[in-house]
Chains A and B, each alone.
Chain A
Amino acid sequence: MRVTVVQFLGSNCDHDVIQWSKDIFRMPTEVVWYTESDLRKPDLVLLPGGFSYGDYLRPGAMASRTPAIESVIDFAKSGGLVLGICNGFQILCECGLLPGALLRNSSLHFICRDLYLKAGNKKTPFTNKIPDGKLLRVPIAHGDGNYFCDEETAKALESEGRVAFRYVSPEGKIDPEWNPNGSMSGIAGILSEKKNVLGMMPHPERASDKALGCEDGRLIFESVISHLES
C-alpha cells in the first residue's frame, strides 16, 4: 500500500502521521508539499492534523484552496481513499469532499484529552478491523471540532451509515458528559457517500504505540490495509 501525506504551511501533525505510516506500519510513504499537484500514485492520502495556516480565518480554509487539495479532490472522486485527521477533517469539509462544517467547541476552549469512540459502521474501508463491541480510546486535541450540518445531511449520514465514529461514555453510551465539543449527536468522524473519504477529529496516530500507552488507533490503519488487500 502506498501512502501520501500532504504537508501544508503550519501543519504540525504531519510528522506524526508520516511516522504512523512509515515507521509503525512500514508503508512506502511520500510527502507532498501543498503547492504540488502530483500525489505520486497513492492508495491512501493522509491529511494531517494541526493548525494549517494557524487556523486563521477558519480552520482548514486556506489549506483547502491549494493545488495539492485540487488533486486530492480528483483522487477522491475517482474512488481513492482519503483520511483527514483533525485539521485534515476540517480541510475535507472546507473543500467540499465531506458535508457540513466544524464549529468552535461549545466550551470555546481547545480541548486535549483521551476519549472513547464507537464505530457507527463496521463495513467501511476504515473500520472493518474493529472488533464488535470494541470502543477505541483515542485522544482529541482541537478547538473547532463541533460538527454541524443541516437536517437533510444529518439524516443522510445516519441512514447511509456514514457516521464513522461517535464519542461515547466508557460504557458505550451516547452521553453529553462524554461529548467534548458539542458535536451533533456526538459525531467524531464522518464518511463520504462512497465511503472512501473519512474525516475524524480524534488522533488515531497518537494512540498507535505501546510505548505511549495505547494502541487502539492502529485498528483504523489496519482496516485500510485489509480493505486494500481484499
Chain B
Amino acid sequence: MAEMEVTFELAKENGITPEEWEKIHKILGRKPTYPELGIFQAMWSEHCSYKSSKIHLKTLPTEAPWVLQGPGENAGIIDIGDGWAVAFKMESHNHPSFIEPYQGAATGVGGILRDVFTMGARPLANLNGLFFGAPDHPKTPFLMRGVVAGVGDYGNCIGVPMLGGQVTFHPCFNGNNLVNAFTLGVLRGDRIFRGKAEGVGNPVWYVGSKTGRDGIHGATMASAEFSEETEEKKPTVQVGDPFTEKLLLEACLEIMADDFVLGIQDMGAAGLTSSSLEMAERAGSGIRIDLSKIPLREKDLNPYEILLSESQERMLFVAKKGYEKEILSVFRKWNLDAVQIGEVTDTSRAEFWFGGKKVADIPIAGIGDEAPLYDRPSAEPEELSEMRKLDLSKIEDLKDPGKEFLHFIGSPHLCSRKWVFTQYDQSVRTNTVQGPYHEAGLIRLKGTTKGIAMSLDVNPRLCKLDPRLGAASAVAESALNVACAGAKPLGVTDCLNFGNPEKPGVMWEFKEAMAGMREACLKLETPVVSGNVSFYNETEGVGIYPTPSIGMVGLAEDISKTATCFFKKDGAKVLLLGKRKGTLGGSLYLSAVKGLDKGNPPELDLDYHKSLINLMISLIGDGLVESAHDVSEGGLLPALAECCLSPLSDDLGASIDLKPGQRLDELFFGESISRVVVTADPESAGEVMKSAAAAGIDAGEIGLTGGKDFSVSIEGKRIFSLKISEIRTVWENGIDKILA
C-alpha cells in the first residue's frame, strides 16, 4: 500500500478536532502515520475514551467491601460468600442494531459474553433491554423481529439462558432503537483474570476468528449521529458466529484453569487497537505487535484496517513464556487457531510492525492520560417546564373501567412479553429458579444454597421528565425487583443511553441522571461496578429520551426461601405495602392511552424505599408472604392482574376492594415507586402488617384471592369484574397486534 499522506484535512474527515490534532503532534513529536491517526481517532472516540462522560462517571459510588473489581475492567465483580463471586456487565449495541437488527443484536450479545468470560467467569445468565419506537411505527415490527431473533439465536446457540429484561415502546425510539445486553457469570473470587499485559518478554497471543474488514470505524460510528450518509457505512456490519464464540468460551475457560495466562481481553470496539493498548496501559508496560502475523480473512488488509477491524469472536491474551505447547494443544482441541503476534515490552510504548516496517509507535500514557476530557456545557431543556405541567381537570376520567382496563393491559406497553422470551432459551444449564415471567431472574448456584437474582430496569419517560429522579427510580425499581425475589441487592451495572452530548440539554440530562444514580446507589448500598455509555442516539437531530438502564444483581442466601409474583392459592389475603397512593404524572396510562408524557413523576424517598426493600427480604426469608410483586409501570390494577396470570397454573382470580378518594384513573393506574403487592395466609397476614408497621412501612389489606374472576370494587361497590381467561387472552396476544 502506498503511504497515505496524513494531513489535517484527512484527520478532520476522521473526526479529529484541531486541538486533538495539535495534541497528537505534541505526543508524538511529529506528524502521525496513517495507522497512528486511526489509533488516535478510535481511542479518542466517544465510545472508547468516554471523553464527554468520564468526569461525571467518576462521581458514581463504586466501592463496598464486597466489590472485588469495580469499573475499569472488562466486567465488574462482587463477592457472594464462600469464595464465590459473580462478574457482570451490560453493554449497548444500539447503532448496529438499527442498521442491521439481527446481526447488530446478535453481536451485542456476543460482545457482552466475551467481556464476562475474559474475567475467568462462566456466563450463566443473560438479560436484555430492548427499546423500540411506537408500536405502530412502520419500522417497529421489522426491528423487533430482527433484534429478538438476533439476541435469541446467539445466546441460545452458546447456551446461556435469558432470564429477563425489558421491552419498551415509545416514539422517541423511532429513529434509534436501543439494545442493551447484560451477562452475568460465576467464578471463584481468587481466580479473577484481568486485561493486563504483564512480564517483559512474555508472548502476546491472538485467538479466535480471522480478521476481516468488519465494522471498521464501528467505534466511531457509535459516536456519531445517524444521517443519510450512514447508509454508506452499511458494509461495516459484523456478522456473529456463535459457534466460534462457544469454542472460544470453552477454550479460554480451560486455559484459564491453569496458571500460565497472565492477562486476557476481548477485542471489542476498536478491535486490536484498544485491546492491546488497554492491556499494556493497565499493566504499565509496553507492547510490540507484528501485524503481519494476524490471521486474515482476506489477503489484502492494510495495517490501518487490521488495527481497527472489529471482526467478532477474537481474543488477545498474554501468557508466561514457555507454555506454547500447552496453549496450542488446548486451542487445537477446540478447533481454534492461536498465534503469537508479539510480546510485552518495557518501553511504555505500543509498537506495531508490518512487513518488517514499523507502522505505528505511540506512547501508551499519551493515549490514556492525554485523552481529551470534556466538561461540556449543560442546560435544562426548554421544553421541560411545559412538559411537567399537568392539568388533570382537562383529562376525562374512566367511563367504562372494565373495558378500559382490558384495553390498557392488552396494549403493547403492558401485555405479556411471551412472544419475545419464548424465543430465548430460559432453562439451559439447569439453574433457572425464576425466568422471564418473574420479578427478577434468579439462578441457583449449584453445590450451595445460594441464589443470584438480577433485574434490568429503566423508565425513559420518567427520565425525560426528571432525569435525576428517573435515574434514581431505575436503581430503586431494579433493587426492589431483586428484593421481591427474596434477594439482597448488592451491585449495579449500567448502560447509559443518551442523545448528542454536544447539546447542552442532553448533557444536562446526563449530569442529572448521574446525580440521581449516585444518590440511589449510595443509599441502597449498591455500588456501580461496570457499565457502558452510549451517546449520539439521535437521528436527524431528534434524540431519544434519556435511558440509563440499570442492571441490578442481588444475593439470596437460600433459594428455598424465595418468592414469585403469582398468587398461590384461594383464600389468601392481598396486601398492599409501601407508598400506597399513586399519581398520574409521568404515568404509562397518560402516555399510552392519552398520548401525554406530562406531569411530575412520583416522588422517591430513598430511606423509605430502603426500608421497604429490607422488609421484603425479611418477609420472604421468614416465609410470611406467598407472593410478592412490585407495582411499577401501569399502576395498581395491571400489577394485581399480573399476579393472577401464572403461565403454569390454572387461572386464580381475586376480589379487590379499594378505598375511595382518588379519581378512578389515578386510583387504578397511578404510579408510585415504592409499592408492593403481597399475599399472605390469613394467619400470617397479621404478622405481615406488624412487621410492616415496625419497619415504618404503610400497609393495608385490599382483597382476597380466589375464584376465576378479577373483580374490583370501591368500598364494597363493584366497579367491574372480568374473567381471568378473558384478561389472559388480551394480555398474551398484545404483541401480535404490532406484528400483524
Rounded to whole Å, the gap between the CB of A218 and the closest CB of chain B is 13
Could you say which of B176-184, B427-435, B536-544 contacts chain A?
Answer: B427-435
Among B335, B424, B428, B446, point to the contact of A13 (Cβ < 8 A): B428
Within 8 Å CB of B152, what residues of A? 110
Rounded to whole Å, the gap between the CB of A89 and the closest CB of chain B is 16
Within 8 Å CB of A56, what residues of B? 243
Known: A16-B428, A16-B430, A112-B425. 5 other contacts (CB 8 A): A51-B243, A109-B149, A109-B423, A112-B424, A139-B427
Among A12, A15, A203, point to the contact of B246 (Cβ < 8 A): A12
Could you say which of A71-79, A190-198, A205-213 contacts chain B?
Answer: A205-213
A175 to B346, CA, bound (A): 70
Q: Does B257 reach chain A (CB closer than 8 Å)? A: no
- State whether B425 touches A110 (Cβ < 8 A): yes
Smallest Cβ-Cβ distance to B246: which chain A residue: A10
Q: Does A215 reach chain B (CB closer than 8 Å)? A: no
- State whether A141 touches B427 (Cβ < 8 A): yes
Q: Does A185 reach chain B (CB closer than 8 Å)? A: no
Rounded to whole Å, the gap between the CB of B120 and the closest CB of chain A is 17
Interface residues of B in 220-262 (CB under 8 A from A): 241-244, 246-247
- Contacts A10-B243, A112-B424, A211-B559 given; does A19 touch B159 at CB 8 Å: no
Among B422, B430, B432, B647, point to the contact of A111 (Cβ < 8 A): B422
Q: Does A50 reach chain B (CB closer than 8 Å)? A: yes
Among B242, B421, B560, point to the contact of A54 (Cβ < 8 A): B242
Within 8 Å CB of A111, what residues of B? 422-423
Within 8 Å CB of B648, what residues of A? 114
Q: Does B153 reach chain A (CB closer than 8 Å)? A: yes
Q: Does A55 reach chain B (CB closer than 8 Å)? A: yes
A20 to B157, CA, bound (A): 21
- State whether A112 touches B423 (Cβ < 8 A): yes
Within 8 Å CB of B691, what residues of A? none
Q: Does A9 reach chain B (CB closer than 8 Å)? A: yes
A20 to B335, CA, bound (A): 27
A143 to B149, CA, bound (A): 11
Q: Does A26 reach chain B (CB closer than 8 Å)? A: no
Interface residues of A in 17-76 (CB under 8 A from B): 19-20, 50-51, 53-56
- Contacts A10-B247, A12-B246, A141-B428 given; does A54 touch B422 at CB 8 Å: no
Please encode chain A, from 144 to 162, with 1 for each CB lying within 8 Å of some chain B CB and 0 for all others: 0000000000000000000
A211 to B560, CA, bound (A): 7
Please encode chain B, from 123 to 157, with 1 for each CB lying within 8 Å of some chain A CB and 0 for all others: 00000000000000000000000000100110011
Please encode chain B, from 626 to 640, with 1 for each CB lying within 8 Å of some chain A CB and 0 for all others: 000000000000000
Within 8 Å CB of B423, what residues of A? 109-112
- State whether A112 touches B241 (Cβ < 8 A): no
Q: Does B609 reach chain A (CB closer than 8 Å)? A: no
Please encode chain B, from 550 to 590, with 1 for each CB lying within 8 Å of some chain A CB and 0 for all others: 00000000011000000000000000000000000000000
Q: Does B265 reach chain A (CB closer than 8 Å)? A: no
Among B335, B430, B446, point to the contact of A9 (Cβ < 8 A): B335
Within 8 Å CB of A51, what residues of B? 156-159, 242-243, 246
Minimum-distance CB pairs A-B, first 4:
A12-B159, A54-B243, A141-B425, A51-B157
A212 to B426, CA, bound (A): 12
- State whether B428 touches A12 (Cβ < 8 A): yes
Within 8 Å CB of B157, what residues of A? 10, 12, 51, 54-55
Rounded to whole Å, the gap between the CB of B439 and the closest CB of chain A is 16
Rounded to whole Å, the gap between the CB of A135 and the closest CB of chain B is 13
Smallest Cβ-Cβ distance to A55: which chain B residue: B157
Please encode chain B, from 428 to 449, with 1 for each CB lying within 8 Å of some chain A CB and 0 for all others: 1111110000000000101000
